Amino acid sequence: MNEKRTSKERLYQTFARLGSALANPHRLELLDLLAQAPRTVEELAQEAHMAIANTSQHLQRLRQARLVLHEREGLFVRYRLADPAIAHLWLELRNLAGQQLAEVDRALNAYRPQRHDFEKISMDQLQERMAGDEVVLLDVRPEIEYQAGHLPGAVSIPLDELAQRLGELPPGRLIVAYCRGPYCVFADEALALLAARGWNVARLEEGVAEWRLAGLPLER
């Protein structure tokens, strides 16, 4: 019995390695970024507003738990998720927190104060209206994420370029913006800018990871 108990505890300790690797807000943000596109340490550090040394340490911890993989490209090291299931795990963790913890909604309201200001469109509605050529789907994430995978028919105008590229958007059409999903503020800021300039706008709350989880195809 002692031998079996020791083996069972060793098994659960192995499971706990994943939980321990996930139990850090910075590492969760890195996984969220890698769910959008593979990135170098330097790119991740810039997006997450962390020092390169700290980013590298967090990535090593994720790599030890087999959550991310890396490959060397000349002087740089590029990281990616070790398996698509890890993106699914992150989404499920996030969804569970939203269901069980009231503070998630409060924190989201503080982070996305404009989240209730715009019409929301579902994935099914988007597909119907895209098929009828009724909307322009706008991807406002960084270009590297768009290139790694985007919703079919989406036009890429990163948020920091939008004000200078408004002329590329056709007038009189509904503009539907999306970014990294419901915990991303980029689409809200884009829609606020467009609405102030007279466009009819709506937001798709889901992003690439949610679209993929629903079994829908992406374009590259």
CA pair distance 66, 184, nearest whole angstrom = 26
Q: Are 50 and 26 in contact (CB under 8 A)?
A: yes
Provide the angle, in degrees to the nearest 10, between the axes of the packed helices 25-34 and 84-100: 130
CA pair distance 165, 204, nearest whole angstrom = 21
Q: Which of 46, 48, 58, 74 is nearest to 21 (CA)?
A: 58
CA pair distance 80, 41, nearest whole angstrom = 11
Q: Which of 193, 145, 142, 205 is nearest to 169 (CA)?
A: 193
Q: Which of 192, 186, 189, 191 is nearest to 207 (CA)?
A: 186
Q: Which of 179, 190, 208, 209 is catalytic?
A: 179
Q: Is 184 an annotated catalytic residue?
A: no
Catalytic residue numbers read: 179
